[in-house]
Structure 1
Amino acid sequence: MLKSFIIRSMTLLAFIASPLAFAENNTIIRIGGFYANTDSTIDVNDPILGNAFALDFESDLKLEESQFLPFFEFSHHFNDRHILYVDWKRLHRNAVVQSVEKPFQFTWDDTTYDIKSGISLDSTLNIDIMRVGYGYDIWQGDNYDVGVSVGLHAMFIKTAFKGRIGICDSGTETRCPDTIDVPKVVDEKLSAPLPDVGIYGSYEFYPGFKLNSHAQYFYIKLDDLKGGLVDVRLGVEAEISENWHMTAAFNYYEVDVEYTSTFTEADIKLADYNIYYSFTGPMLSISYQF
């Protein structure tokens, strides 16, 4: 599913841009990074009390709360006013808890997994966010431009647990009687591509130095999905050489997504997630233009 979304997105951009390749074009590839703060929970069951509670990946399973987050951006400018862009942000974490303090159960694919207290548990939570979009310069001058953008973004979430885990049918009301060494229990989900809108601008205040900014926003609330995205960035870009540029920016970035348990067409039960991840602070990047 992940590969399919990427291939379709890149094919769409290539299809749109290819008839316009004769115009004055330039392409920019940018890589950089910043530190992200993450708060992630998954709804599980307490096998002793029989009630549901939110298991915290950071405090309960010891995943890092703050971590360096790399990002990648690709943009193609054509026909003077048009821009196509793709960006990717990646947050992959793994941690081992030597002794689980809170026992819990969760159900995936009609199978209940029983995590008993005291066992060693290897946990993984990978989050990737991809955006593709189109921008149009509304106002242009000799040293500035201002435009609007529309795009789609999707979040890819992979959760995995490894350890000595009990496994039983989803209808089991008590604790799973036997435990076995499970190589890895994996759940993967992809949010449907969701729209976002934004504005952007740049101003060359001195030869070789530009002030760049953008702001993007999205919010949705459906039966099984609630969440939003806010991305505001203000930075200064310096020309290192004819093709190379370096940018120092201040970025406010926030993603807050809640998934509610639902059944797919194949009657596969998905776990509840509440993922909040944000960053407020400096970021650095380097770009190549050709």
Structure 2
Amino acid sequence: MIRSFFCIVLLIFGTRAALAETDLSTDSSTDNYTLDIGIFYANSDSNFIATSPKTGGTFPIDFEDELLLAEEQYLPYFEFTFSFNQRHSIYIDWKSLDRKADTETVSQDFILEDIDGKDYLIETGSKLSTELNIDILRIGYGYDIWQGTHYAVGVSVGLHAMFIETAFKGTIGICVPDSSLSSLCTNAVATPEVVDETLTAPLPDIGVYGSYEFYPGWTFDAHAQYFALKYDDVDGSLVDVRLGVEAKFCDNWSIKLAYNYYDVDVTIKKTRNVGNIEQRTFDYNINYSFTGPMFAVSYVF
């Protein structure tokens, strides 16, 4: 995922260079690139839908409570902005949440359904290693509606996507369900690892932002972004509100300290047809939230 982020950055560099060569008349005195590298503190709550091998019914399993993944941790983030023609900007934002934990004894039987076309059985008492990696990539466009010597206010529109990878390692069986669903695991053999990769379709967000230089080299920044959408098998929402101060400490370099409320809640539903019955399989519900300070170093070039 980090590779994808830098590929997009390089694409913007190339696009800008091409535009500069084809339109030398454009005033580029205010054009610049800004790269922020920082850390924030995240709080996560996530679960998936599993199937009971005894009844065929479904129930949620919590990644944090049941499988012991960390709920809170410090995480990196990257933000790249290209500002051009005085009022316009393109931004890319990337956040990552990678977690891994070992469960010595699984407390209940469950089946992971329809992952790579197979069903997998995890039985009570098994030792299980679980990994859940979530990346959130956003790209968008901003336009300054009002500008002054020391302030700017604008609106933004963008898209964001979530990349989710789940891996289970341990004592895991491969199941062969029959058409009547009366016996979901009549045949099981050992397998070392189960990996599921899911990508949400790009989801839109809209926002407002503003900045005010209240003292030379000191700027107050704020932004708010929002989206809510239910489409096909994805039901999600995003709220991002940030208030912060940027202090320039030398040419092209500054530090940023902000207070951020950030919440992503996405449900991804998966189904398949067994006979004439539509059956829910490996659903995700991901809540990825953060309320607290963020710190970053910023470089403008």
Change (3 A) 1:61 1:156: same
- Specify the code of the residue in structure 1 equivalent to 2:262: Y
CA offsets 1:204-229 (integer angstroms, 9 cap, x no match):
00111000011111110123110101
Cα gap change, 1:240 to 1:194, in 2 (>3 Å): same
Aligned length: 285
1:249 aligns with one of 255, 258, 264: 258
Contact 1:164 1:179 in 2 (8 A): no
Work out which of the residue numbers 34, 45, 49 in structure 2 matches 1:43: 49
Partner amino acid for 2:142?
G
Is the counterpart of residue 120 in structure 1 residue 115 in structure 2? no
Letter of the 1:154 counterpart:
A
Q: What is the letter of the counterpart of residue 63 of structure 2?
A: F
Q: Does 1:71 align with 2:77?
A: yes
Distance 2:236 2:50 in 1: 20
Question: In terms of mean alpha carbon deviation, does 255-264 or 207-216 score higher?
Answer: 255-264
Report percent identity of matched pairs.
Answer: 52
Name the counterpart of 1:280.
Answer: 291
Distance, in Å, in 2 between the alignment partners of 1:142 and 1:2 is 36
Match of 2:58 among 30, 42, 52: 52
Shift of 1:103: 1.4
* Residue from 157, 167, 184 that aligns with 1:160: 167
CA drift of 1:177 comes to 4.3
- Letter of the structure 2 residue corresponding to residue 101 of structure 1: S
Unpaired stretches in structure 1, ≥5 consecutive residues? none
The alpha-carbon deviation at position 6 of structure 1 amounts to 7.7
Once residues 4 and 270 of structure 1 are traced to their aligned partners in structure 2, the CA distance between those partners, rounded to angstroms, is 29
Q: 2:176 and 2:6 mapped to 1: Cα distance?
A: 35
What amino acid does structure 2 have at the position aligned with 1:175?
Answer: C
CA pair 5-207 structure 1, distance change in 2 beyond 3 A: closer
Matched residue, 1:229 = 238
Asked if the contact 1:114/1:176 (under 8 Å) is kept, the reply is no
Q: Does 1:240 align with 2:249?
A: yes
- Taking the aligned partners of 2:295 and 2:2, their CA distance within structure 1 comes to 27
C-alpha separation in 1, matches of 2:222 and 2:128 = 43
For structure 2, the 5+ residue unaligned runs are 274-279
Distance 1:63 1:169 in 2: 29
Give distance in 1, aligned partners of 2:189 and 2:67: 20
Q: Tell me: CA distance 1:231–1:161, structure 2 relative to 1, closer, same or farther (3 Å).
A: same
Q: Does 1:271 align with 2:282?
A: yes
- Provide, for residues 154-197 of structure 1, a one-character-per-residue CA deviation record: whole Å limited to 9, x for no partner: 000001101111102243724354341x3321110111111111
1:248-288 per-position Cα deviation (integer Å, ceiling 9, x unaligned): 10000000000111459xxxx96211111101111111111
Name the TM-score, length of structure 2 as normaliser: 0.88
Q: Structure 1's 280 and 4: CA in aligned 2 closer, same or farther, altered over 3 A?
A: closer
**What secondary structure sits across from 2:228 in the alignment?**
strand
Distance 2:269 2:5 in 1: 22
> In the TM superposition, what are the counterparts of 1:118-267 in structure 2 within 5 Å?
118-171=125-178, 173-180=183-190, 182-262=191-271
1:35 & 1:7 partners in 2: Cα distance? Answer: 26
Change in CA separation of 1:123 and 1:90 when aligned onto 2, cut-off 3 Å: same
